[in-house]
Structure 1
């Protein structure tokens, strides 16, 4: 153990040691030579405003619970619980530091937790990621600064940088890279995937301060950052033990909320130097040159004329490394060759991994032939998923645990590929994944609930199992939201538009235009996939007419005058794009309003009459018909693109499938000889979702609602033996399904009567024995939330007492029920305590406490 600690101390002492003093004048000359943006007085003023209580409260609210506390031992829960007391103290402390005061000594100290990297040799210190565990008060302060910098960073960094910058995504750069590589296949070029060696840990602070100064940050901000990075120390935690204290001389601490933003600003001068260098030549598309794409420290550079570009690139990287501490990882940097064989001189300069087959960028394997994208990415991931599911299936888990594993482990991996790769995934692949998932959920037993039912949302009677095909379609459609959203400024959107002679968003509502662009090969394959999916969805949902509201008058294939009169094209320059621009509450604006808003001329009046006639006849009432998928795109065109776009699209796609649980409702109606209205049924489904704080109990409540259990009737059908349909309680019934076992059996009725009497007494209610209320949870109107919570638990406990006596001749007793409620009570009390909500627990369980203590209200 001692030798391990010594090895880590030696390694990190060297890593965080400043290798050399930088030449400040040379760095300033380098930074001054670049055309970098700079913030002004007003922006600096906003950055340096007094820190407010509201900012502190927001930062505290965002703290995640159940996380390791810093060296002082105060966890996030402590700050949340004592928020009102501690916030004024934090405000005074933060503003003291912010205005140049000395920082608390505890802010300089951190505990480094080393996390092993996947697939690395764990006997090497470099195979671990050092995450700094900092005190919570420091993290609150850093979060406030990071939030303020968030809005500035997007203005200071080019859209080439998509890492940790507001409104930019990882897959933006992957899509852009695929476009560029598609162009490079016919020219002499290379794609260079740069990997920095310990990029965050190697940041030179003096260079960073000079770069911030070049970006226009005033002295107060820079001085504040300098105080945070002045002589910090750390101790490494290894197997629970802490090493001696290390002195840090460089690096952005991984785990600090400020680090991602500071690194984006740190690396931007390098990206700008590459852009400006005439000797480093990029890929030209539609008169625009594309050279560099970044996601934090992951950089992909696409170059033409590599014999000249590569030596100049590596010369620049060497110079930048001298100034900043940036150093390439020779083993992980890759170069993909297109129609190029490097000379010996170039190979001597660039001693990296040269490849004629593929490179890996941001987790995506990019082959030299893009038609192999599916084989290179989905096939190995499918094998990985299969192995994972087989390994996890050995663990003792219930259904909700297994479905949570699908959501938290399998879905994110697939969703990343769905978003990054605009390629077709065949139906047979989704079928294969669904079979693997079904086998995992049911432990290779016969499913008791339909797979499509499991995929419904919980409030609809399902279990929210992800539908992979709908997530795939939603991920592809998200690209088209980017086309519509005027706020989206990604480079891939710029390239997409260069392939289309008309605005991309004008295609969406016009099926003839879509067909023309797809079948005439006017667009590259990368752009066809989302359009084809959109076209199929509109056809399946029969919303092709409703989608006409997305059309643009100038390109509307059904508006004959626009095809002949080029004056409508000129209207585009005046601002008349989509129909939504010239309508108000589904009515075309009058000519005078349009004339004032868009500077129309007298000669345009007849054209307006033509347009109004077409709109009133073909489009006017369609906007009212659709509030789902088409509305999302319409809102995006208006600049109101939804947040969590994939989730919104996914919900719309799920709704269009018309899957529901009314077939289960019908079975209950038949068994109990009752009528359940649809609204009541879905209220019952929503109710069981709220049963206790435990996923286990919510699962049990759901199982009762969806007829999960294997009754004698089910066994009889499986074995084709009529005798097995008899009730095991020997009540004399020869046909026993869910309704009989849980409610109607002569031996179970007395149990329910006692339970219902006790519930009425405890809750102060006067409810008659009703199957829909006490079994299906159709709760009476007017109940307070606390009473709903307790009643649902009481009913779940009553049903659990029955299943614990499954196949037992004797029915459960009220004592069995009370014992189960006491079990739930104990666990709920612990849960509420961990959530710092003990007062809420006392309120919700007050009636039970009075009942169990013999005191009835």
Structure 2
């Protein structure tokens, strides 16, 4: 970054000024919220079972390699090469932390790297900060996560699919498509509110988080370990002009920490419980069950059969969110409805009503038609294919390798979320045409050349077609759902909704 804007919009070009601006911005972003002080002091004596060497070995082996190291500069590969010696050393350190609940300061430090998002690259707010933390600390964090997971799974409902084993974005995409399709089939109006929080993960109040963990039955020993990990956190920002001074982190869950998704999910669950979403009658009733929200971490979707019910749900969630420090981004919060709507205003800002919405990377429309999403996916696939042109022109790369590249880098972009698509004849033709366009571009064969599609496919020998891959994914997902017992996805796929179909 050659220049950056200060808080007044003036361009900064000097290296020291840019570093100071980044430190100023991140310090403000993570500045401590002044709430009731944390009066906890001392060491917990009622400890959970000791850490075993086999836990350390498992944690060390499960850490992803080829990642940038933290401030200590020690990569995890070094520990993995040392094998048993590293396991014994790390076990001793982890066991000491487990008993004393005191963390090494190096394990509390993070190095922030700003990565540009959309918008003006001179604005600090248009950057996402990723963090590098000590690889050795990840061993302890993995063990702590495994101990926490049993409690987290008991507390989270099935409408929360974010960062949970066996769940993913495809499940929530399928859920919302099935809800829209059933509502349309039985002539039901349906209203959605896609909530966007302003920097949700960075606004978590630490003292409130410990209170929430206590209320949800997390053992005092684990809470004390987490509290002491978060106390006295430090960070620096690495820019193209060097690193800033170290500064304190006063709020938000830790960046790049494997515990953060679990902690945030519990934080969000506390909001929804206090909003009374489980007790309210507002929502969509399918197979005798009332569904009024779908969640993927901080991405929250509220739904109801009337505009009044939806507005009531939204105001309850907004009120409870603000109590724990999370604020709605009204500009990015959207309403999507199949029935009539009126203009909504919240805190003087109008909530936009849309006819389609990009939900977890997939385009959802009010009519439930997948045609728009399929066209969008094919267009995204074309862009990826075009970006790979320089590789396809290289004569040193063999044809089979290029074919594998297309299948690994282009086709997955097109197939994202296809498990819940309703593909008609026209869409199948578009998919087949796209696949042949890819193979012709790969072979540098223009459409004007007198070559049949059969000759192209014979030269490529792609095996299963793109449409066949999609069908395989759909069947695998169907089998996966049918083997589940009482899952939300199975209920929404097979369950009935009240109402009457259209004539004919």
TM-score with structure 2 length normalisation?
A: 0.84
Deviation for aligned residue 1:4: 2.8
Match of 1:490 in 2: 487
**1:285–1:449 Cα change, 3 Å:** closer
Match of 2:224 in 1: 223
Separation in 1 of the partners of 2:84 and 2:431? 51
SS of 2:35's equivalent in the other structure is coil
SS of 2:100's equivalent in the other structure is coil
More strand, by proportion: 2
Separation in 2 of the partners of 1:349 and 1:311? 15
Query: Is residue 389 of structure 2 the alignment partner of residue 390 of structure 1?
Result: no
Q: Which runs of 5+ in 2 are unaligned?
A: 1-14, 39-45
Q: Which aligned pairs between 1:30-49 and structure 2 lie closer than 5 A?
A: 48-49=48-49
SS of 1:394's equivalent in the other structure is helix
Match of 1:366 in 2: 364
Separation in 2 of the partners of 1:23 and 1:71? 30
**1:293–1:274 Cα change, 3 Å:** farther
SS of 2:89's equivalent in the other structure is helix
Q: CA RMSD in A?
A: 3.1
Separation in 1 of the partners of 2:224 and 2:457? 62
**1:254–1:437 Cα change, 3 Å:** farther
Query: What per-residue deviation string (whole Å, max 9, x for no partner) do you get for residues 501-541 of structure 1?
Result: xxxxxxxxxxxxxxxxxxxx99xxxxxxxxxxxxxxxxxxx
**1:58–1:312 Cα change, 3 Å:** closer
Separation in 2 of the partners of 1:498 and 1:350? 40
Aligned length: 468
Query: What per-residue deviation string (whole Å, max 9, x for no partner) do you get for residues 731-773 of structure 1?
Result: xxxxxxxxxxxxxxxxxxxxxxxxxxxxxxxxxxxxxxxxxxx
Query: What per-residue deviation string (whole Å, max 9, x for no partner) do you get for residues 384-414 of structure 1?
Result: 3223322321345424664454244323322
Match of 1:539 in 2: none
Separation in 2 of the partners of 1:114 and 1:490? 39
Match of 2:191 in 1: 190
More helix, by proportion: 1
Q: Is the 8 A contact 1:159 1:490 kept in 2?
A: yes
**1:83–1:193 Cα change, 3 Å:** same
Alignment counterpart, residue 12 of structure 1, candidates 10, 26, 36: 26
Match of 1:160 in 2: 159
Deviation for aligned residue 1:276: 3.7
Separation in 2 of the partners of 1:452 and 1:160? 47
Deviation for aligned residue 1:357: 1.3
SS of 1:11's equivalent in the other structure is helix
Query: What per-residue deviation string (whole Å, max 9, x for no partner) do you get for residues 699-751 of structure 1?
Result: xxxxxxxxxxxxxxxxxxxxxxxxxxxxxxxxxxxxxxxxxxxxxxxxxxxxx
Q: Which has the higher contact order (CA 8 A, sep 6+)?
A: 2
Separation in 2 of the partners of 1:176 and 1:473? 19
SS of 1:234's equivalent in the other structure is strand
Separation in 2 of the partners of 1:378 and 1:290? 27
Match of 1:318 in 2: 319
Separation in 2 of the partners of 1:412 and 1:151? 33
Match of 1:455 in 2: 462
Separation in 2 of the partners of 1:305 and 1:350? 23
Deviation for aligned residue 1:219: 0.7
Match of 2:299 in 1: 298
Query: Is residue 269 of structure 2 the alignment partner of residue 268 of structure 1?
Result: yes
SS of 1:50's equivalent in the other structure is coil
Separation in 2 of the partners of 1:320 and 1:88? 44
**1:277–1:491 Cα change, 3 Å:** closer
Match of 1:243 in 2: 244
Match of 2:106 in 1: 106
Match of 1:378 in 2: 374
**1:430–1:253 Cα change, 3 Å:** same
**1:280–1:237 Cα change, 3 Å:** farther
Q: Which runs of 5+ in 1 are unaligned?
A: 25-44, 457-465, 501-520, 523-857
Separation in 2 of the partners of 1:413 and 1:92? 45
Query: What per-residue deviation string (whole Å, max 9, x for no partner) do you get for residues 67-91 of structure 1?
Result: 2111111112111111222211111
Deviation for aligned residue 1:350: 7.7
Deviation for aligned residue 1:302: 0.4
Separation in 1 of the partners of 2:143 and 2:348? 42
TM-score with structure 1 length normalisation?
A: 0.51
Match of 2:55 in 1: 55
Of 231-240 and 419-428, deviating more is 419-428
Q: Is the 8 A contact 2:33 2:250 kept in 1?
A: no
**1:133–1:382 Cα change, 3 Å:** same
